[in-house]
């Protein structure tokens, strides 16, 4: 089988052919030769085939023959490297006898106990069970879940969990992962699904930010605009006009030092008024989780910018 591949400078063979200076080479795995595509010069005759020693002709055969598992996952307490004992069948797939089955079930019990024998693994097991539950309720993507698990491992390594709530740190790590990935999830929505209240989670979040070196980006109003527009079920024209109003606010530094949710909600409400779409001020305030007073203040400030432009 002949495959064409680009050879980079990291390979032991030079990236360009010494004869014609060509950069595209042909790797012939049957003969073990590396040949220049332009002039046919054999650059190396000792290429190693790093592929499997077996061949597969369909997907089912490929899945049956491969001997690798899933990649490492930080959201699993042992990163998915645990050994599983099957107490019902042997390696040939035959059913075990009653005596052997009882023996292997006992070994399976001891194996499960040794997995969480130390406090570190026990802590991760409890924390990631809570993380799975919260992420399932909030429909969090896998990358957010993985980042939250990595942050929690840093918290545990810094010995911040000792004497404090595990569930509160899990919620704080999940909120931090959303901030880092710029996912519009509020701390209130995470606290609603957590077993801890908002005040406890906020206290743990501030402690974590203070003790661990994390570069948390500042929230911007444009981050919440699409979410608010989707919940309000406004048309795309109103959303585009809201983005234009937020652009004016950014140019004039109106949003500095203010709640980004309030600025985004005010821009959306003002765009609805300019477009003639009927919305209730209280509904916008409820969706954005800000008070009606804050909404009116931010809307008054943005109205001056729109009239001046």
Residue-by-residue DSSP string for 75-132: TSTTTT------SSB-TTSPBPPHHHHHHHHHHHHHHHHHHT-SHHHHHHHHHHHHHH
CATH architecture of 134-211: Orthogonal Bundle (1.10)
Range of weakest confidence among 151-155, 176-180, 195-199, 213-217: 213-217
pLDDT at 118 over 80: no
CB of 122 within 8 A of CB of 156? no
Q: Please, what is the angle between helix 198-211 and helix 166-180, to 10°?
A: 70
Residue 140: pLDDT band by 50, 70, 90 thresholds?
Answer: very high
Q: Between 1 and 233, whose confidence is greater? A: 233
Question: Averaged over 224-245, what is the pLDDT?
Answer: 87
What is the reported pLDDT for 150? Answer: 93
What is the reported pLDDT for 173? Answer: 95
pLDDT in tens, 254-288: 888 888 888 999 999 899 888 888 888 888 888 88
Report whether CATH 1.10.10.10 matches the domain 221-308: no
What is the reported pLDDT for 9? Answer: 30
Question: Averaged over 213-220, what is the pLDDT?
Answer: 84
Question: Averaged over 20-48, what is the pLDDT?
Answer: 79
Question: Averaged over 4-28, what is the pLDDT?
Answer: 61
Q: Long-range pairs for 229-235 at CB < 8 Å and ≥24 separation?
A: 229/268, 231/287, 232/268, 232/272, 232/279, 232/283, 232/284, 232/287, 234/268, 234/271, 234/272, 234/277, 234/279, 235/275, 235/277
Residue 215: pLDDT band by 50, 70, 90 thresholds?
Answer: confident
What is the reported pLDDT for 106? Answer: 86
- Residue 61 makes CB contacts below 8 A (sequence gap 6+) with none
Q: Between 121 and 149, whose confidence is greater? A: 149
C-alpha to C-alpha distance for 169 and 208, rounded to whole angstroms: 8
Residue 5: pLDDT band by 50, 70, 90 thresholds?
Answer: very low
What's the chain's average pLDDT?
83
Q: For the chain, how long is the longest CA-to-CA vector? A: 86
CATH architecture of 1-68: Single Sheet (2.20)
C-alpha to C-alpha distance for 152 and 127, rounded to whole angstroms: 8
C-alpha to C-alpha distance for 295 and 264, rounded to whole angstroms: 9
Range list for CATH 2.20.25.10 in the chain: 1-68
What is the reported pLDDT for 7? Answer: 36
Reported as type and span, the H/E element at residue 4 is strand 2-6
Range list for CATH 1.10.472.10 in the chain: 134-211, 221-308
Q: Between 142 and 48, whose confidence is greater? A: 142
Q: Please, what is the angle between helix 236-251 and helix 292-308, to 10°?
A: 80
CB of 117 within 8 A of CB of 78? no
What is the reported pLDDT for 202? Answer: 94
CB of 173 within 8 A of CB of 148? yes
Residue 70: pLDDT band by 50, 70, 90 thresholds?
Answer: low
Q: How would DSSP label each residue in 266-305? A: HHHHHHHHHHT----HHHHHHHHT--HHHHHHHHHHHHHH
Percent of the chain with pLDDT over 70: 89
**Token match 């930080």: residue?**
74
**Token match 């969090």: residue?**
140
pLDDT at 204 over 90: yes
Q: Between 172 and 98, whose confidence is greater? A: 172
pLDDT at 6 over 90: no
What is the reported pLDDT for 170? Answer: 95
**Token match 């490297």: residue?**
81
């Amino acid at each position: 089988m002949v495959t064409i591949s680009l050879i980079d400078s990291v390979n032991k063979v030079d990236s360009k052919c010494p004869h014609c200076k060509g950069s595209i080479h042909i790797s012939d795995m049957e003969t073990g030769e590396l040949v220049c595509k332009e002039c046919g010069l054999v650059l190396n005759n000792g290429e190693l085939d790093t592929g499997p020693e077996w061949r597969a002709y369909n997907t089912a055969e490929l899945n049956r023959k491969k001997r690798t598992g899933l990649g490492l996952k930080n959201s699993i307490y042992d990163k998915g490297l645990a050994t599983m004992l099957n107490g019902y069948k042997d390696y040939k797939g035959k059913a075990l006898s009653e005596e052997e089955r009882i023996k292997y079930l006992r070994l399976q019990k001891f194996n499960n106990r040794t997995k969480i024998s130390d406090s570190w693994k026990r802590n991760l097991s409890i924390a990631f069970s809570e993380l799975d539950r919260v992420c399932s309720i909030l429909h969090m993507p896998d990358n957010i879940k993985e980042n939250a698990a990595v942050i929690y491992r840093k918290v545990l390594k810094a010995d911040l969990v000792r004497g404090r709530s595990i569930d509160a740190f899990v919620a704080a790590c999940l909120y931090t992962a959303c901030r880092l990935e710029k996912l519009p999830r509020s701390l209130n929505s995470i606290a609603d699904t957590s077993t801890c209240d908002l005040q406890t989670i906020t206290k743990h979040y501030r402690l974590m930010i203070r003790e661990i070196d994390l570069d948390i980006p500042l929230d911007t109003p444009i981050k919440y605009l699409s979410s608010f527009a989707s919940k309000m079920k406004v048309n795309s024209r109103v959303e585009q006009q809201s983005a234009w109003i937020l652009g004016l606010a950014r140019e004039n530094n109106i949003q500095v030092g203010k709640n980004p949710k309030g600025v985004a909600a005010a821009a959306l409400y003002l765009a609805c008024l300019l477009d003639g779409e009927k919305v209730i001020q209280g509904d916008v305030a409820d969706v954005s989780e800000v008070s009606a007073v804050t909404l009116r203040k931010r809307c008054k400030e943005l109205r001056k910018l729109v009239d001046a432009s």
